[in-house]
């Protein structure tokens, strides 16, 4: 499925090569701005649910039923994040022409190390993970911008995205 969808960072990084119009760029950035608060909230919920699960398994005597129930809530939270990421990438794909999609497929192929995915370049990062990382980076940049306006210290600098 990943070969048919394009994460925002790949599209925006390849804007010149695929002749992305200003209208398309603006629409993609709008989609990112719309989904970012939702994504941040989902990430917070997932973190809280994971912490609860860890707390359950750290006990000397673990209640298996409670652990299973909590795992179900963690998996539901992860699924919501995946749905949000998938929805974003579908909306981005729908903003691109068929020619641009073909160009992105070629760009992605060129980015692959010799021998295919997972060879010689370290652990592969999936499109969903790259989308999540891009939204997190955007959140940090927005937070930095707001703190700069308010005269506060800048947050930790966003990390660059790993190559696929």
Predicted TM-score (pTM) above 0.85: no
Give me the mean pLDDT over the 89-95 stretch.
96
pLDDT at residue 85 in the model: 94
pLDDT at residue 86 in the model: 95
144 or 31: which leads in pLDDT: 31
Cβ-contact 85, 136 below 8 angstroms? no
DSSP per residue over 37-103, as a string?
HHHHHHHHHHHHHHHHHHHHHHSSS--HHHHHHHHHHHHHHHHHHHHHHHHHHHHHHHHS-HHHHHH
């Amino acid at each position: 499925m990943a070969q048919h969808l394009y994460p925002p960072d790949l599209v925006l990084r390849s804007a010149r090569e695929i002749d992305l119009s200003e209208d398309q760029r603006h629409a993609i950035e709008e989609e990112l701005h719309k989904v970012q608060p939702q994504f941040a909230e989902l990430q917070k919920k997932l973190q809280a649910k994971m912490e609860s699960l860890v707390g359950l398994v750290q006990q000397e005597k673990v209640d298996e039923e409670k652990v299973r129930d909590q795992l179900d809530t963690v998996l539901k939270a992860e699924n919501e994040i995946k749905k949000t990421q998938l929805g974003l990438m579908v909306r981005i794909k729908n903003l691109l022409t068929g020619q641009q999609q073909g160009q992105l497929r070629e760009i992605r192929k060129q980015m692959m190390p010799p021998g295919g995915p997972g060879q010689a370049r370290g652990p592969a990062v999936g499109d969903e993970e790259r989308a999540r990382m891009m939204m997190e980076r955007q959140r940090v940049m927005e937070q930095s911008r707001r703190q700069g306006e308010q005269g506060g210290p800048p947050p930790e600098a966003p990390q660059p995205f790993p190559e696929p």
